[in-house]
Amino acid sequence: MNKRITVLSGDCIGPEITAQGILALEAVAKVFGHRFDFCEVPFGGAAVDACGVPFPDETRRACEEADAVLLGSVGGPKWDGLPKELRPEKGLLQMRSALGLFGNLRPAKLHPQLAFACPLRPEIVEKGIDIMTVRELTGGIYFGAHETRQQDGQRIATDLMIYSEGEIDRILRVGFEAARKRRGRLTSVEKSNVLDCSRLWRERAHALSTEYPDVELIDMLVDNAAMQLVRDPSQFDVIVTENMFGDILSDESSMIVGSIGMMPSASLRNDSFGVYEPIHGSAPDIAGKDLANPIGTILSAAMMLRYSFSMAQEADAVERAVSEVLDTGLRTADIMSGGMKQVGCREMGRAIAAAIRA
């Protein structure tokens, strides 16, 4: 297969980690007989420096023409003083909205080799943690009308939560499809005991579930979900939820699996196109020192193979390579522990690429 991948390496550690993501994808192409063409374009602070804006038209076109996008991270102190519209982070929001990326997938998997990084008790950790949160990304309370007004001598603020059936259905389908590709359990998280949006959500979830008889649908109220995530995270396979609940729960689930440097994500729409990036920021404190952990980016590349290119075997091969390299005791500084061997971003990337086999 031939695929075009646009690379937005971004700022600070962005170029260091995306280089290792590309190395892994090149290894996959070689081992499995594919061809991936990479096109690197400026984004974030780098684009502000080169073109005056964080998401230039040329970058937008390169994203639209690609089969998928690999993104590093944006931002840094150099651009912190810029007006809001020119901040590198604004480029992220512009890109997600311009490309219509309504679905955010955030897997939280505890690698057994890194169990020490989990803040939960060992008997909970032993059961394993492997959760995919599917979060709606372009609707709900973050995108409804926001207003602060004066009334009766004080300020009153309102934020409108709004969802159409169409918006709910398309994200639920992402959830059902993801569950179908994993262990077949979908937990639909809402607050249907209080919110109309959630009652509509629950109704649509049950209506769609008839199309996915192979997926077990579980309804869960968001307050209970927050508790269950720390009480027994092993019960979850895929969680599907609206924008704000997903924002909060996906951060909770990433916390329980330890290092931020390990966590990948995908932002998707209705076709096979997607943007793949680690969940962390640009880590200015370690930029240029070969200290960054590239695993979040490499696992994001694995998600690209799985979700945009339907290359499940190739994705498995990348994830297996990460696990094997962790087994050999190699660790970047952020996940270092006693008796292990500390390596830099480049050496970790090289070791993982070399471990990719059919």
User: How far apart are CB 77 and ligand NAD at their closest, in Å?
Assistant: 7
User: How far apart are CB 289 and ligand NAD at their closest, in Å?
Assistant: 10
Name the segment binding ligand NAD (CB under 6 A); options: 26-34, 70-78, 131-139, 172-180.
70-78
The values of phi and psi at residue 9, to 5°, are -75, -30
In the complex with ligand NAD, which residue's Cβ is closer, 76 or 139?
A: 76
Three-state secondary structure call for residue 8: strand
In the complex with ligand NAD, which residue's Cβ is closer, 189 or 302?
A: 302
In the complex with ligand NAD, which residue's Cβ is closer, 78 or 180?
A: 78
The values of phi and psi at residue 41, to 5°, are -130, 155
Q: Which residue from 19, 86, 221, 260 is in contact with ligand NAD, where contact means CB under 6 A? A: 260
User: Is 223 an annotated catalytic residue?
Assistant: yes
Q: Based on the shown chain and the rule CB under 6 A, indicate whether residue 92 belongs to the binding site for ligand NAD.
A: yes
Element (H, E) at 190: strand 185-190
In the complex with ligand NAD, which residue's Cβ is closer, 293 or 308?
A: 293
Three-state secondary structure call for residue 147: strand
How far is 105 from 253, CA to CA, in rounded Å?
A: 12
Instruction: Output the CA–CA distances (angstroms, integers) from residue 120 to 114, 124, 125, 230, 349, in the order listed.
Output: 13, 7, 6, 7, 29
User: Is 251 an annotated catalytic residue?
Assistant: yes
How far is 270 from 273, CA to CA, in rounded Å?
A: 8
Residue listed under structure tokens 């009766």: 152
Options 191, 212, 237, 276, the catalytic residue: 191
Q: Which residue from 96, 334, 343, 356 is in contact with ligand NAD, where contact means CB under 6 A? A: 334
User: How far apart are CB 166 and ligand NAD at their closest, in Å?
Assistant: 27
Residue listed under structure tokens 């696990």: 323
Q: Based on the shown chain and the rule CB under 6 A, indicate whether residue 90 belongs to the binding site for ligand NAD.
A: no
Options 49, 223, 316, 327, the catalytic residue: 223
Q: Which amino acid is at 316?
A: D
How far is 186 from 43, CA to CA, in rounded Å?
A: 35
Options 37, 49, 196, 251, the catalytic residue: 251
Half-sphere exposure of 79 (CA within 13 A, CB side): 27
Tokens, residue 203: 């109704």
Q: Which residue from 54, 56, 76, 233 is in contact with ligand NAD, where contact means CB under 6 A? A: 76
How far is 293 from 278, CA to CA, in rounded Å?
A: 10
Q: Based on the shown chain and the rule CB under 6 A, indicate whether residue 282 belongs to the binding site for ligand NAD.
A: yes
Q: Based on the shown chain and the rule CB under 6 A, indicate whether residue 89 belongs to the binding site for ligand NAD.
A: yes
Please count the other Cβ atoms lying within 10 Å of the Cβ belonging to residue 144: 16
In the complex with ligand NAD, which residue's Cβ is closer, 225 or 321?
A: 321
User: Is 271 an annotated catalytic residue?
Assistant: no
User: Is 247 an annotated catalytic residue?
Assistant: yes
In the complex with ligand NAD, which residue's Cβ is closer, 16 or 177?
A: 16
Q: Based on the shown chain and the rule CB under 6 A, indicate whether residue 284 belongs to the binding site for ligand NAD.
A: yes
Options 67, 247, 276, 334, the catalytic residue: 247
DSSP states of 257-326 as a string? T--GGG-EEEEE-SSS-EEEEESS---GGGTTTT----HHHHHHHHHHHHHTS--HHHHHHHHHHHHHHH
Options 142, 181, 219, 290, the catalytic residue: 142
Identify which of 282, 294, 300 has the alpha carbon closest to the alpha carbon of residue 106. Answer: 300
User: How far apart are CB 80 and ligand NAD at their closest, in Å?
Assistant: 7
Name the segment binding ligand NAD (CB under 6 A); options: 25-33, 282-290, 320-328, 346-354.
282-290
Name the segment binding ligand NAD (CB under 6 A); options: 73-81, 200-208, 227-235, 308-316.
73-81
- Residues at the site binding ligand NAD, with contacts judged by CB under 6 A: 17, 73-76, 89, 92, 260-261, 277, 280-286, 292-293, 296, 334
Q: Which residues are catalytic?
A: 142, 191, 223, 247, 251
